[in-house]
Chain A
Amino acid sequence: MQVTSSVRQPLVTGGKTYHDVTHDVSRQVEGKPTMAWFLAFLTAVGVLVLGSIALIATLWEGIGMWGLNKTIGWAWDITNFVWWVGIGHAGTLISAVLLLFRQKWRTSINRAAEAMTIFAVICAAMFPVIHMGRPWLGAYWALPLPNTFGSLWVNFNSPLLWDVFAISTYFSVSLVFWYIGLIPDFATIRDRATGLRKKIYGALSFGWDGAAKTWMRYESVSLILAGLATPLVLSVHTIVSFDFATSVIPGWHTTIFPPYFVAGAIFSGFAMVLTLMIITRKVFKLEDYITMGHIELMNIVIIITGSIVGIAYITEFFIAWYSGVEAEQYAFINRATGPYWWAYWSMMTCNVISPQLFWIKKIRTSIAATFILSLVVNTGMWFERFVIIVTSLHRDFLPSSWAMFYPTWADVGVYLFTFGLFFTLFFLFAKFFPVINMAEVKSVLKSSSEKAAK
């Protein structure tokens, strides 16, 4: 029998039985959509449609629609790309890294966090593809296929190509990991349903029957996938940081980038998980599963990763001075005091100072404060990428090439489009898929529920 220390907080409150878990999660899928869901969904679709005007304009006219100029060739597009990929790190971190560390509290948040990961990576991948200008060609130019001129191949020395492999592997492995976890839960919904729903969820559940032998293999597959996904999730943002770190641009050419990007990714990912979870638990009345304990633990992860990010900012500054490289020193002084000082100090305030508030127990156990701070952190993380990308580029090597970046309506619109896409997908997921991993919650129910603690 599993024994859990009595000082641990219960993971499931409200004296839930196994059947209650099934019922509380499945009823969202089975019931008619609520008014709140419809309003939220329609808003997301509205943003998607609105944003698609900018997207279509960009595809029709080319990326000249954006505010890029000959000095600043990467701005909002790549900022948004890195920002979305970063958000897409929390899901796999929660489900894979926390599985390896045997953190049972992951069970009630991993499903939604993984869904968020997948949708965020879709949004992220759009930006480099659109940035290619002709995405219908770019999509296969990035693959190692022989071309019509003979076999001139893609350049495997380029971190941009490594990114193609990293992002697509991350996306597909996360998708498989997520789906394997969904199979037993689809079977639960299948066995409660009749008619068409039974057919649909029957097909989705792949004929799952819950046999001990299948569960044994399932556990084995989960563990190995977690073992594979853990270095994978760390590799993805490492490789994203290589896009910058392997260049010779002052401000980008930094060895600290890989760990600093990974910490930042986890930081922003957890913030987004909190934003979504606080809404989801409220709308779907899942407070007994996603408890204050869960929120507090995620806030603690935010303190840790936020502090790592803070130390990285300061280290970068120190190393720029200590290196004695004038161009590097200038790049950093320019970040803090140049024309983009406001972006730099927004980043510093949102990412370094604000998460430190979570040291106060009252703040990290307050829903309202957590929600606000999660939004602040994600704003800060967007500014971080903007600062790294734009401030390093805008003061080019020759003063005659110095420039500023001004976003156009198309920049804003395409960013909005990805928001619309992300939330449309998330709301569809929340309605039609079980938002909590029922089977995994049941497996910790006996040892870690409030009932067990008594």
Chain B
Amino acid sequence: MERDTHFILGVYEDEDVLLHAVKDVRTSGVKIHEVYSPYPVHGLEHALGYKRSRLPIAAFLFGLLGTTLALTMQLYMMKFDWPMIIGGKDFAAIPDFIPVSFELTVLLAAFGMVGVFMISSDLKPWAQPRIFDLRITDDKHVMAIDIANNSTLEVEKIKEILKSSGATEVNNKSFE
């Protein structure tokens, strides 16, 4: 069977049942494709075994870039390119450069991190998302299991595991 086309979906109503279900399903040897929720469920990423997001590192690096660019720009303009005496201050009046450096640090960190987030999560206005169930953005949590990824297990067996883990519905879903 082809990968990434045929799925079994377990539908859960409650976030705590879902958290236990994820653990149970994984211990019984079923590989979970992904879990879809209407709101962030705390601890779900640990239960699914996801590694911590590295977005904070991206934010830090972009912030660092912002500070460096801001200080370089101000020093270049005020000290080297066109020095002017302003209020008798030093040309390189570093304390005066702090507000703008701070703002540019925040600006680059925020935009850089959000940019990385958009790219890594494939968020863009023209994206055509695969909707497993329309109720995912309303009130249901859906656990999707790729049948091809669990070829060692029988489909009926997987459905059995999902049901006993607390799924209120178990459905099939196929994509073209």
Residues of A bordering B, CB below 8 Å = 1-2, 17-19, 22, 144, 150-157, 159, 161-162, 165-166, 169, 172-173, 176-177, 180, 183-184, 187-188, 190-192, 203-204, 206-221, 224-225, 228-229, 231-232, 235, 239, 242, 438-440, 442-443, 446
Contact = CB atoms under 8 A, between A and B. Distances in A.
Nearest to B48: A212
Given A144-B77, A153-B82, A209-B130, A224 B44 contact: no
Contacts of B37: 210, 212, 215
A176 B138 contact: no
B35 A188 contact: no
B38 A439 contact: yes
A219 B40 contact: yes
Contact of A2 (B42, B97, B104, B111): B42
A162 B70 CA distance: 12
Given A173-B111, A212-B36, 6 more contacts: A151-B77, A191-B137, A211-B34, A212-B35, A216-B44, A217-B121
B86 A155 contact: yes
Contacts of B42: 2
B1 interface: no
Given A156-B96, A216-B45, A204 B113 contact: no
A188 B36 contact: no
B65 interface: no
Contacts of B61: none
Contacts of B127: 206-207
A298 to B, nearest CB: 24
A228 B125 CA distance: 25
A203 B128 CA distance: 9
Given A215-B37, A217-B55, A209 B129 contact: yes
B100 interface: yes
- A-B interface, 9 closest residue pairs, ranked by CB to CB distance from nearest: A207-B127, A18-B139, A206-B123, A153-B77, A162-B99, A442-B39, A443-B39, A188-B137, A207-B129
Contacts of B14: 446
Given A18-B138, A204-B125, A156 B55 contact: no
Contacts of B124: 206-207
A228 B106 CA distance: 6
A187 B132 CA distance: 13
B67 interface: no
B105 to A, nearest CB: 9
A141 to B, nearest CB: 15
29 contacts: A19-B138, A151-B81, A151-B82, A156-B78, A157-B89, A159-B99, A166-B103, A173-B110, A176-B110, A180-B117, A190-B137, A192-B134, A204-B125, A206-B124, A209-B130, A211-B36, A212-B35, A213-B50, A216-B53, A220-B53, A225-B113, A228-B59, A228-B109, A235-B102, A438-B38, A440-B39, A442-B39, A443-B41, A446-B14
Contacts of A150: 82
B56 A220 contact: yes
B73 interface: yes
Contact of B16 (A1, A162, A229): A1
Contacts of A438: 38-39
A184 B124 CA distance: 13
Contact of B136 (A151, A162, A183, A209): A209
A208 B129 contact: yes
